[in-house]
């Protein structure tokens, strides 16, 4: 696996555009630190200090940082679809196979890069979260600090699942722009499917089915933290209460989709006449 990873890293780091996008995908999550220091003055009447409202205190900070950091995943998604499209456009895919790399190993080189960059991103977010949390939170007890660190696992699984989907779309369409466009189309199709189901069932059933869709299942791994923040300020208001926890069945759903995307990518490559 390390040999396959080194092959892919060498390809990516030789491409200037890929290096810029990879660098950006690692740098942008650091804007969470900037977010923690933002103070918004509302025309002199009052100042909203995001760091003082408790969203960067342990243990809820794991929820906050992973949610916002996940919004930057599109940058590396461009790298994923590009590294597949470039293989076709530069004819390197065929050359790799001629040089002795099997089709299975070719897909594994891409997947190993996905896992590697997802892991690096997760470690960075973990370190950022610890730094911000220790600065804002008065708690330093290890159990309390890490009690919700499962959001880091959800973040890692979310990245691997999303990038595996991008890999599959890149293999399917073979053009970066069209693959990313199809990603947006898939988002629309999921909501159309939800509305069709809603028309024939109840909202609860439609939502439960929607949670099995690829993009929606990845989104559900880390729910938005805004209502959680609001509930800490208005604890008796049931309108803000919701289930924000990471559930193992949600992780399992995304892992199943990840497996399918990698298998389908391999099946496409195996079927095609190169």
Instruction: Tell me the pLDDT tens digit for each residue of 205-254.
Output: 999 999 999 999 999 999 888 777 666 655 555 555 667 889 999 999 99
- For 90-139, give the secondary structure using H, E and C: CCHHHHHHHCCCCHHHHHHHHHHHHHHHHHHHHHHHHHHHHHHHHHHCCC
Q: How many whole angstroms from its chain centre is CA 23?
A: 16
Q: Which of these, 163, 69, 175, lies nearest to 112 by C-alpha position?
A: 163
pTM (predicted TM-score): 0.88
Residue 133, pLDDT score? 84
How far apart, in whole angstroms, are the C-alpha atoms of residue 122 and residue 273? 37
Distances (CA, A) of 12 to 6, 80, 86: 10, 10, 10
Rg (CA), the chain: 21
């Amino acid at each position: 696996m390390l040999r396959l990873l080194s092959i892919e890293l060498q390809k990516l780091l030789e491409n200037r555009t890929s290096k810029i996008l990879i660098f950006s995908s690692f740098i942008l999550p650091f804007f969470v630190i900037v977010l923690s220091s933002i103070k918004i003055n509302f025309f002199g009447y009052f100042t909203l200090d995001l760091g003082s409202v408790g969203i960067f205190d342990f243990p809820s900070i794991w929820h906050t940082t992973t949610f916002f950091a996940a919004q930057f995943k599109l940058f590396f998604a461009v790298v994923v679809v590009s590294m597949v499209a470039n293989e076709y456009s530069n004819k390197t895919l065929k050359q790799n196979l001629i040089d002795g790399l099997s089709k299975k190993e070719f897909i594994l080189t891409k997947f190993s890069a996905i896992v590697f960059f997802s892991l690096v991103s997760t470690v960075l977010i973990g370190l950022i979260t610890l730094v911000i949390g220790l600065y804002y939170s008065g708690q330093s007890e290890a159990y309390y600090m890490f009690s919700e660190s499962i959001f880091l696992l959800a973040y890692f699984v979310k990245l691997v699942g999303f990038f595996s989907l991008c890999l599959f779309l890149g293999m399917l369409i073979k053009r970066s722009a069209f693959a990313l466009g199809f990603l947006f189309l898939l988002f629309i199709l999921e909501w159309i499917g939800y509305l069709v189901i809603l028309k024939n069932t109840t909202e609860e059933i439609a939502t439960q089915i929607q949670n099995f869709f690829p993009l929606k299942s990845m989104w559900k791994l880390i729910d938005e933290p805004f209502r959680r923040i609001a509930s800490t300020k208005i604890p008796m208001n049931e309108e803000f209460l919701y289930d924000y926890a990471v559930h193992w069945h949600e992780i399992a759903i995304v892992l199943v989709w990840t497996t399918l995307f990698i298998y389908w990518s391999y099946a496409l490559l195996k079927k095609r006449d190169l």
